[in-house]
């Protein structure tokens, strides 16, 4: 692709620098000159843009992404074409990717991993609610901004969800492909869930679960092997997260969460459990077996090795009461997750067996629609109030509406609920908190501070340092003299505050010789665009009359014009005696003089009558515009 830096795309986007290059497109940092904001501009490589299928794919990506609006998704602003270039303007997120973080820090502790996983999952849940698959989840597509926000982007392989979305060919990074994608080339929301689970494994274990020298080796393992517990590689991983990872990465799609919305609620519960210090409490999320798949389903909550698939006896009948007489346990093989709960193994075996038997006999009714049923409160963040009320309708709850400010959720959309999403609902009122927009607060007083002091004050007050603009000003060199909110106008909390820092006053060069003035101007980093000259009655020739900035305010490396004096505009008076009145008058006026004629002759004779006297002697120097009298008397 040719170098596009400096080019204006679509009569709107001024390209500043390359951010990233990929196999299909290059992403640039650009300035939207209409709205005066930075954007990430994604441009297809020209050899692909000429291919109509690629161009259509690119346009589809923009349309799919534009359907979504969520604090944890990279927003798409615009899409268009400029000659042979097809482009898409997206939200610019300054920071690093999750891949960068994993390279720098390796395995993350459980709390930090969930702090990163939850917002990423929240964005994915918004896509699933909108009926959109991502299909290319990987750490490279999770952006960690410098201001703490976490964004999921790059829906380049996205598709609308149906029951069996066909890929046509294997797509996505092989390390995160679900078994059904490898085996059948079809995907649904559970395929995204699987990829998210692999990412969580990688955050906790510091490595991917399957490795190989060739992509086909890794794909084979996804299709045929169970993902191991991350604690196998990092003993610090709590049993709770082992359980979560194994559920999300189950080889059978039916044994995973149905979509990211369901998974998000469980992740939020897991965070609450870890925060409360209950890191070995089961989430009870492993699916119970049905009669149809009894021969190959792992018994839930048994003291089994979670890294291996356990097969039930072929003679096991879910419809009759039976005892696992020959079932043996080895204490050395028990994981911490498996050792929790009931201390007596015999009792646990009996209870688990009874649960399986009751499931076969229809006792699952008690735990679903029967008196033992309960439901988790869904995550409603960034949904409309109407949508939230409809979603909560299945709980038959009393609903209250309240407002609260939010810096991350748009005005009019749901911020949170009380009780919080992920908690089980046992009755009572559910309060929906709706965003009233960002809370408006006063900016800190930073005028007169240096950049370091101003930055510390901005951060201390909960804001983010924006652009630092250095311009010439009467304020002392290095001091902040203006900033967002300096006039007392309240601004949204957590806003980015741009500051203006003084480069000192523009040098005063009026009256200096031209050479000295040029030296003084260049010494402060300014550039001279033009040097112009004009006559001056007050400034000597060769001295500067004025300095003219080409921009306002004048920034570092800015340009100026100099106006230099040619001195007063003087003319030597010629000898007009003996010339006719008309000839003398015309010659003197041509030199810039004002001519007064003293004669008693008719104007019809001015071409004949000659000048006898003139008020200024020949050789006298007068300024242009002075008066001279010629006389015929």
Q: How many Å apart are CA 572 and CA 617, to the nearest integer?
A: 10
Q: Which two tokens stand for residue 144?
A: 């960690």
What are the strands, taking DSSP E only, across 363-517? 375-376, 398-404, 414-418, 424-425, 429-435, 440-441, 464-471, 480-483, 491-492, 496-502
Q: How many Å apart are CA 47 and CA 631, to the nearest integer?
A: 85
Q: How many Å apart are CA 1 and CA 403, to the nearest integer?
A: 50
CB count in 10 Å sphere of residue 577: 14
**Helices 239-248, 260-275: inter-axial angle, 10-degree rounding:** 180
Q: How many Å apart are CA 351 and CA 343, to the nearest integer?
A: 13
State residue 95 phi and psi, 5-degree precision.
Answer: 160, -145
What's the distance, Cα to Cα, between the start and end of the chain in Å? 86
Element (H, E) at 187: strand 186-187
Could you tell me whether strands 627-631 and 594-598 are parallel, antiparallel, or unpaired per DSSP bridges? parallel
State residue 64 phi and psi, 5-degree precision.
Answer: -65, -50
Query: Positive or negative CA dihedral for 62, 185, 288, 338?
Result: negative
Q: Which of 100, 104, 109, 136 is catalytic?
A: 136
- In contact, 433 and 415? CB cutoff 8 Å: yes
- In contact, 93 and 75? CB cutoff 8 Å: no
Q: How many Å apart are CA 455 and CA 469, to the nearest integer?
A: 13
DSSP 396-435: T-EEEEEEE--SSS-TTBEEEEESPTTSEE-SSEEEEEEE
DSSP 297-336: PPPTTSS--TTS-----TT--TTS----TT----GGG--H
Q: Quick one: 358 exposed, middle or buried, by C-beta within 10 A (0-12, 13-18, 19+)?
A: middle
Question: Catalytic: 136?
Answer: yes
Q: How many Å apart are CA 436 and CA 438, to the nearest integer?
A: 7
Could you tell me whether strands 544-549 and 559-565 are parallel, antiparallel, or unpaired per DSSP bridges? antiparallel
In the numeric block, the tokens 């990074």 are attached to 173
Q: How many Å apart are CA 230 and CA 237, to the nearest integer?
A: 7
- Residue 182, classed as helix, strand or coil, is helix
Query: Which residues are registered as beta bridge partners of 163?
Result: none
Q: Which two tokens stand for residue 593?
A: 């003089």
Query: Positive or negative CA dihedral for 211, 214, 218, 221?
Result: negative
Q: How many Å apart are CA 575 and CA 591, to the nearest integer?
A: 13
**Helices 239-248, 110-129: inter-axial angle, 10-degree rounding:** 30
Catalytic residues: 136
């Amino acid at each position: 692709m040719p170098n596009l830096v400096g080019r204006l795309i679509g009569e709107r986007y001024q390209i500043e620098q390359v951010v990233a290059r990929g196999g299909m497109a290059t992403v640039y940092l650009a300035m939207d000159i209409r709205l005066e904001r930075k954007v990430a501009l994604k441009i297809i490589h020209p050899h692909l843009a000429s291919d109509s299928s690629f161009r259509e794919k690119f346009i589809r990506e923009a349309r799919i992404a534009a359907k979504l609006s969520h604090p944890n998704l990279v927003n798409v602003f615009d899409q268009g074409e400029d000659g042979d270039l097809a482009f898409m303007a997206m939200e610019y997120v300054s920071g690093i990717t999750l891949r960068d973080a994993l390279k720098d820090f390796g395995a993350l502790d459980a709390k930090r991993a969930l702090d990163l996983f939850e917002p990423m999952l929240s964005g994915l849940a918004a896509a699933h609610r909108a009926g959109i698959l991502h299909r290319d989840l990987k750490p490279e597509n999770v952006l960690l901004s410098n201001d703490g926000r976490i964004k999921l982007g790059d829906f380049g392989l996205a598709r609308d969800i149906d029951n069996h979305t066909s890929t046509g060919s294997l797509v996505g990074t092989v390390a995160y492909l679900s078994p059904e994608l490898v085996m059948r080339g079809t995907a649904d929301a559970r395929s995204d869930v699987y990829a998210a689970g692999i990412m969580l494994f990688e955050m906790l274990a510091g490595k991917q679960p399957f490795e190989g020298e060739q992509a086909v080796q890794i794909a084979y393992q996804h299709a045929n092997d169970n993902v191991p517990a991350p604690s196998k590689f990092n003993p610090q991983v709590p049993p709770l997260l082992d359980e979560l990872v194994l559920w999300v990465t189950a080889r059978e799609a039916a044994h995973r969460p149905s979509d990211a919305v369901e998974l998000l609620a469980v992740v939020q519960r897991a965070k609450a459990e870890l925060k409360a210090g209950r890191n070995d409490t089961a989430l009870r999320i492993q699916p119970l077996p049905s009669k149809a798949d009894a021969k190959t389903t792992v018994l839930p909550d048994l003291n089994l090795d979670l890294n291996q698939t356990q097969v039930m006896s072929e003679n096991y009948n879910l419809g009759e009461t039976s005892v696992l007489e020959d079932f043996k346990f080895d204490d050395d093989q028990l994981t911490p997750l498996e050792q929790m709960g009931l201390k007596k193994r015999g009792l646990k075996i009996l209870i688990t067996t009874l649960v399986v038997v009751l499931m076969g006999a229809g006792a699952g009714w008690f735990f679903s629609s029967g008196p033992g049923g309960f439901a988790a409160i869904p995550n409603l963040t960034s949904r409309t109030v109407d949508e939230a009320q409809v979603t909560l309708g299945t709980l038959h709850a009393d609903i209250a509406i309240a407002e609260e400010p939010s810096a991350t959720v748009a005005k009019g959309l749901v911020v949170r609920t009380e009780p919080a999403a992920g908690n089980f609902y046992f009755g009572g009122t559910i309060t929906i908190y709706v965003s009233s927009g960002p809370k408006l607060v006063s900016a800190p007083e930073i005028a007169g501070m240096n950049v370091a002091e101003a930055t510390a004050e901005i951060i201390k007050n909960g804001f983010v340092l924006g652009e630092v603009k250095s311009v010439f000003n009467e304020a002392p060199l290095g001091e902040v003299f203006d900033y967002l909110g300096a006039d007392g106008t309240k601004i949204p909390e957590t806003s980015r505050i741009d500051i203006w820092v003084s480069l000192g006053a523009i040098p005063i060069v009026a009256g200096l010789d031209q050479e000295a003035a040029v030296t003084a101007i260049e010494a402060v980093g300014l550039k001279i665009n033009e040097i112009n000259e004009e006559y001056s009655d007050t400034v000597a020739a060769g001295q500067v009359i004025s300095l003219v900035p080409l921009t306002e305010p004048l920034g570092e490396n800015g340009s100026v014009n100099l106006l230099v004096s040619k001195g007063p505009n003087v003319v030597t008076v010629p000898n007009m005696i003996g010339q006719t009145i008309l000839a003398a008058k015309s010659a003197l006026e041509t030199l810039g003089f004002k001519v007064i004629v003293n004669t008693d002759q008719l104007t019809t004779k001015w071409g004949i009558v000659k000048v006898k006297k003139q008020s200024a002697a020949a050789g006298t120097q007068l300024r242009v515009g002075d008066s001279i009298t010629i006389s015929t008397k």
